[in-house]
């Protein structure tokens, strides 16, 4: 039986089900205030009928209402229905069979495997949140922070205050460079970072320290997404290697091996996660492949999409196999060695991998998902052609007038040596996933900068196809998901990419795991777009980013309710409205809080109020916990500071909550320093 969400629970039932604590008492008071809105919620559900209105934000990414599969979900229990509990009063999660029965049923949008097509775009926004968010209740905020000593709250207050001091944040990297020139200032700077930003946002420097941090979280029913903090980018690699290509046109960046420190450290991270219990490990593909190589490979994938769009009709479809071959020929651009005698036969062979799909549908039509599958480097016929590419002739100068050098990661297609980096990244990540699966740990592939993201997505898709099997009969939905890709919804192409990945996983027959985030590279992305005179890839407004994020959550949850039970999502956000909307949607679709299908996550050291409240309500709450030596973590910490400075609301909310709690302690008789 699906568990009711906050507004649907009778206060007396909640009081008997939850263990006594300040947070429990605050939640009960929130329920009492919210229950007056239940009649409106009931009317809204009655109006839904057999159509999802999807109560998320307005956006240009909207879709027509999808006819619901009414057999695919159970009705929500009435407000007075008892909340199942054990003899000790703890919450009882529904059985996997109950959840499975609430989401089974055939779909009218078959993909050949009984899976539904994902909606054409994001959800409609003609409904609103049906009850107040618990995260805005001052008593809930106070209860969530009550476990923290006053000294810890004051440290947090100081750190978030520094995040709002823009001159310090904007010039932090310059100040660190200057301080590193002198031993004394270098030591002072790093010790200051260790005592402030590092202590606030990182779980520790060693395995033992991070294990202690995670154990503290687990005691509060919070899981961890463990991340060995590591930042790599094209510019730093170019500076360290004086360019990424040699005179012979082969990438000179050394391959990462199984003996490399970063690989061994990542293996240790997986072992730590396995020892402390159920959780995730985050992996950055740029740790195992040259960022410049990934950038050039991404240029090829972007060029393929551009060629496809030129040949597709207004529906995004290439109508015939012949036209698809012409499209591929344009992409290769005459750059295939010895192509004149064999080109036609080889080009046609590339599309044999989608022949079965054509036979199933009875049509030779091809959308982008089919075309991308055909030209993927994992297709041997396509790989033969793609690895034979000669880098095309480059324009003599960039739009800003700077000369372009061969192998430039912003403009060049892959060099021969780049393919070895791609293959090695897949190989090393596969070893790590094997290790994680053996220890009951899930793997999240981190999103990175757009310059290399298409190649990173390719690696993630290869891993998901290899490790994310469909769950067995009698298993829980989402249990077959071992690898999750990450989609950044502040990007203009975030929602279309999410839709494509859902569709691709359905066609190719593997479970889909996704971590949905807003994004963390806004400053870098906009600076690069300006420098290269290319369109800004970021949503134009914060409201548009919110709309894109909420639409992505709705897309995944609605796909699950419509029959795609082989899904699992990590909703990574600090936004209370987005969390509340997701909780409401789960309730409407009959997805219980403890389901493995839905996970929530916030960054370590940020928005503890959200994380602890979600955990108390029985949701799968996580903290994203970076760790490692201070020197290694500094780029990550700078990004956290810049992110909080750029999005002032986040740091301001933290300051207000922490300041209020400190004020309450000072005013309370007997309060003091812990």
- pLDDT digits 0-9 by tens, 20-73: 555 555 555 544 544 443 332 333 333 323 223 232 333 333 333 333 333 343
Q: What is the mean pLDDT of residues 543-568?
A: 95
In sequence order, the 6+-apart residues with CB closer than 8 A to the CB of 313 are 319
Q: In which band, very low, low, confident or very high, does the pLDDT at 392 lie, cut at 50, 70 and 90?
A: low
Count how many residues are written for the chain. Answer: 674
- pLDDT digits 0-9 by tens, 442-495: 999 999 999 999 999 999 999 999 999 865 444 566 678 999 999 999 999 999
H helices within 312-415, ranges in order? 321-332, 343-350, 355-361, 368-374, 380-386
Q: How far apart are CA 300 and CA 199, in angstroms?
A: 41
What tokens appear for 540 in the block?
């134009």
Q: How far apart are CA 370 and CA 92, in angstroms?
A: 44
Q: What is the DSSP string of 446-476?
A: PP--TTTHHHHHHHHHHHHHHH-PPPPTTSP
- pLDDT digits 0-9 by tens, 588-619: 999 999 999 999 999 998 888 899 999 988 99
H or E segment to which residue 483 belongs: strand 483-488
H or E segment to which residue 625 belongs: strand 621-627
In this prediction the pTM is 0.76
Query: 151, exposed or middle or buried, with CB in 10 Å at 0-12, 13-18, 19+?
Result: exposed
Q: How far apart are CA 467 and CA 632, in angstroms?
A: 30
Q: How far apart are CA 463 and CA 446, in angstroms?
A: 13
In sequence order, the 6+-apart residues with CB closer than 8 A to the CB of 254 are none
Q: How far is CA 596 from the centre of its chain?
A: 16
Q: pLDDT at position 37, please?
A: 37
Q: How far apart are CA 457 and CA 507, in angstroms?
A: 17
**For residues 123 and 130, is the Cβ–Cβ distance under 8 A?**
no
Q: How far apart are CA 45 and CA 587, in angstroms?
A: 11
Q: pLDDT at position 664, please?
A: 82
227 vs 35, 267, 291, 297, CA distance in Å?
40, 11, 19, 25
Q: What is the mean pLDDT of residues 547-566?
A: 95
What is the residue-averaged pLDDT of the chain? 75
Q: pLDDT at position 33, please?
A: 46
Q: What is the mean pLDDT of residues 647-654?
A: 64
Which of 4-8, 231-235, 241-245, 652-656 holds the top average pLDDT? 652-656
- pLDDT digits 0-9 by tens, 172-218: 777 666 676 666 667 888 888 888 888 888 999 999 999 999 999 99
Q: How far apart are CA 566 and CA 41, in angstroms?
A: 29
């Amino acid at each position: 039986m699906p568990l009711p969400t906050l507004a649907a629970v009778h206060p007396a039932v909640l009081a008997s089900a939850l263990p006594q604590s300040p947070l429990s008492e605050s939640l009960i008071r929130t329920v009492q205030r919210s229950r007056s809105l239940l009649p409106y919620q009931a009317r809204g559900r009655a109006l839904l009928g057999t159509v999802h209105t999807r109560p998320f934000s307005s956006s240009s990414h909207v879709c027509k209402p999808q006819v619901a599969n009414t057999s695919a979900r159970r009705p929500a229990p009435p407000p007075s229905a008892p909340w199942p509990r054990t003899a000790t009063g703890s919450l009882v999660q529904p059985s996997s069979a109950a959840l499975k029965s609430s989401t089974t049923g055939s779909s009218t949008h078959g993909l050949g495997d009984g899976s539904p097509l994902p909606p054409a775009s994001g959800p409609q926004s003609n409904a609103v949140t049906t009850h107040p968010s618990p995260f805005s209740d001052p008593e809930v905020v106070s209860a969530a922070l009550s476990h923290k000593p006053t000294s810890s709250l004051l440290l947090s207050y100081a750190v978030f205050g520094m995040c709002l001091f823009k001159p310090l944040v904007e010039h932090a990297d310059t100040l660190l460079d200057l301080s590193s020139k002198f031993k004394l200032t270098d030591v002072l700077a790093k010790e200051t970072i260790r005592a402030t930003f590092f202590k606030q946002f990182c779980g520790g420097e060693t395995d033992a320290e991070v294990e202690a941090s995670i154990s503290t979280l687990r005691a509060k029913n919070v899981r961890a997404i463990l991340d060995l903090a590591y930042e790599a980018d094209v510019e730093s690699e170019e500076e360290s290697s004086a360019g990424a290509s040699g005179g012979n046109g082969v990438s000179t960046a050394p391959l990462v091996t199984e003996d490399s420190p970063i690989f061994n450290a990542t293996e240790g991270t997986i072992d730590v996660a396995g020892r402390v219990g159920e959780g995730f490990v985050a992996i950055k593909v740029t740790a195992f492949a040259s960022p410049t190589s990934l950038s050039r490979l991404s240029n090829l994938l972007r060029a393929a999409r551009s060629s496809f769009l030129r040949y597709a009709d207004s529906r995004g479809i290439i109508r015939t196999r012949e036209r698809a071959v012409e499209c591929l020929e344009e992409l290769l651009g005459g750059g295939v060695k010895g192509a004149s005698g064999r080109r036609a036969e080889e080009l046609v062979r590339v599309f044999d991998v989608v022949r079965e799909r054509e036979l199933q549908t009875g049509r030779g039509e091809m959308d982008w998902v089919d075309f991308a599958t055909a030209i993927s480097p994992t297709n041997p016929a396509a790989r033969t052609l793609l690895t034979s590419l000669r880098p095309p002739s480059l324009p003599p100068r960039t739009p800003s007038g700077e000369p372009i050098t061969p192998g430039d990661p912003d403009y060049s297609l892959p060099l021969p040596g780049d393919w070895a980096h791609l293959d090695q990244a897949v190989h090393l990540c596969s070893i790590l996933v094997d290790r994680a699966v053996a220890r009951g740990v899930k793997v999240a592939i981190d999103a990175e900068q757009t310059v290399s993201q298409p190649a990173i997505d390719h690696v993630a898709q290869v891993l998901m196809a290899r490790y994310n099997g469909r769950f067995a009969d009698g298993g829980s939905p989402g249990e077959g998901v071992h690898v999750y890709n990450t989609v950044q919804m502040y990007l203009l192409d975030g929602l279309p990419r999410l839709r494509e990945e859902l569709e691709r996983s359905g066609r190719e027959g593997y479970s889909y795991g996704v971590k949905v985030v807003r994004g963390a590279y806004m400053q870098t992305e906009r600076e690069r777009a300006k420098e290269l005179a290319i369109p800004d890839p970021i949503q134009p407004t914060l409201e548009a980013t919110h709309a894109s994020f909420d639409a992505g959550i709705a897309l995944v949850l609605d796909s699950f309710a419509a029959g795609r039970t082989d899904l699992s999502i990590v909703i990574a956000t600090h936004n209370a409205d987005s969390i509340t909307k997701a909780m409401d949607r789960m309730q409407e679709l009959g997805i219980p809080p403890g389901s493995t299908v839905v996970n929530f996550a916030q960054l370590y050291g940020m928005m503890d109020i959200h994380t602890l409240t979600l955990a108390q309500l029985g949701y799968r709450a996580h903290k994203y916990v970076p760790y490692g030596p201070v020197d290694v973590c500094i780029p990550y910490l700078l990004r956290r500071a810049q992110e909080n400075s750029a999005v002032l609301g986040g740091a301001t909310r933290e300051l207000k909550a922490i300041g209020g709690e400190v004020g309450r302690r000072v005013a309370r008789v007997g309060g003091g320093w812990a």
